[in-house]
Amino acid sequence: MSDSPLVNQYDYRNCQSLFGYAAAVHQRSGGICQLCGAGSNDLDFDLWRQLTVEHLIGESQGGYLRQISAALAQRFPGMSPTSLTALARRIDAANTITACSFCNSTTSRNRAPVAMTEAIQRAPDGSAEDIYEHVAADLQAILATKRSEARWKLEAVRKAFDSLVVPSLLDARAALGVSSSHGSATRFGVWLLPTARHQKRRISRWQPAIERRCGSEALITSSTWLGRPQVRNSRSGSLAVADPRPTGG
């Protein structure tokens, strides 16, 4: 690469996973991961740019468009080319979903319980709509299984994130002098609640991180809200709930 400054704007269309073949998939999903729901609250660039396309039935099991077309042509030799092309595209759309990078990487290598060729072979003789509904039912069952698996994995990963990752990353950011762009209170996820009397208690797992993000006057009480320690400001007496998760996630 030349040492001269880059004067030409990068052609965003080179990002095929966002603007190329995947654009229609993300448009159908609204930019929301169809396995875990990430992105359902706000349109966030940093999340959107990491979206991927997940094939419910992958290439190794005949799930790509060209393979779908070939399977339909073999199963329904009397179908017109126009009808076959339209049906293949509908099935391909049902077989492709938006997935965040985590869900894609943790579920994409799993083999589906049925190959696309098998699903098409089992489809009844009838209209294109009848064929599509049969294959789509198989795909919906696969989607439900993938969602359940993603949820199961995310529960464990989230617990590890809250208990292990957040404290260490807060320490690292403090050492680097990096502050949150959302401000300490909102970035740390503090919601104000009505003031009440609570016995103050310091909890080693939460207190250091809370003090770093909310100030030394933030004291943990013995009460919890949805399983999270409540925090009282020792000067103002205001009560809040501490959650060390970024409010955007």
> Please, are residues 24 and 16 in contact by the beta-carbon 8 Å criterion?
no
Residues 124 and 204 reside in one and the same domain: no
Rounded CA gap, 213 and 218, in Å? 9
Mean pLDDT of the chain: 78
Domain assignment of residue 129, yes or no: yes
> Which tokens belong to 129?
């709509």
Residues 138 and 236 reside in one and the same domain: no
Alpha helices in 76-204 (DSSP H): 81-95, 101-107, 116-121, 128-160, 166-176, 184-188
Domain assignment of residue 176, yes or no: no
Residues 204 and 154 reside in one and the same domain: no
Residues 88 and 18 reside in one and the same domain: yes
Residue 181 has pLDDT above 70, yes or no: no
Residue 216 has pLDDT above 70, yes or no: no
**Could you tell me which residue, 1 or 110, shows the higher pLDDT?**
110
> Please, are residues 173 and 131 in contact by the beta-carbon 8 Å criterion?
no
Residues 140 and 197 reside in one and the same domain: no
Domain assignment of residue 178, yes or no: no
Give DSSP secondary structure letters for 10-54.
Answer: P-GGG-HHHHSTTHHHHHHHTS--TTT-TTSSS--HHHHTT-EEE
Domain assignment of residue 166, yes or no: no
Q: Which domain holds residue 211?
A: 184-241
pLDDT band at residue 194 using 50, 70 and 90 as cut-offs? very low
pLDDT band at residue 100 using 50, 70 and 90 as cut-offs? very high
Domain assignment of residue 3, yes or no: no
Residues 18 and 128 reside in one and the same domain: yes
pLDDT of residue 46: 93
pLDDT of residue 222: 40
Residue 99 has pLDDT above 90, yes or no: yes
Residues 114 and 201 reside in one and the same domain: no
Residues 218 and 98 reside in one and the same domain: no
Q: What is the pLDDT of residues 128-176, one digit of tens each?
A: 999 999 999 999 999 999 999 999 999 999 999 999 999 999 888 888 8
Residues 139 and 83 reside in one and the same domain: yes
Residues 152 and 203 reside in one and the same domain: no
Residues 110 and 191 reside in one and the same domain: no
Structural domain total, the chain: 2
Residues 149 and 226 reside in one and the same domain: no
pLDDT of residue 246: 41
pLDDT band at residue 109 using 50, 70 and 90 as cut-offs? confident
Q: What is the pLDDT of residues 41-83, one digit of tens each?
A: 889 999 999 999 999 999 999 999 999 999 999 999 999 999 9
Domain assignment of residue 26, yes or no: yes
Domain assignment of residue 174, yes or no: no
pLDDT of residue 29: 95
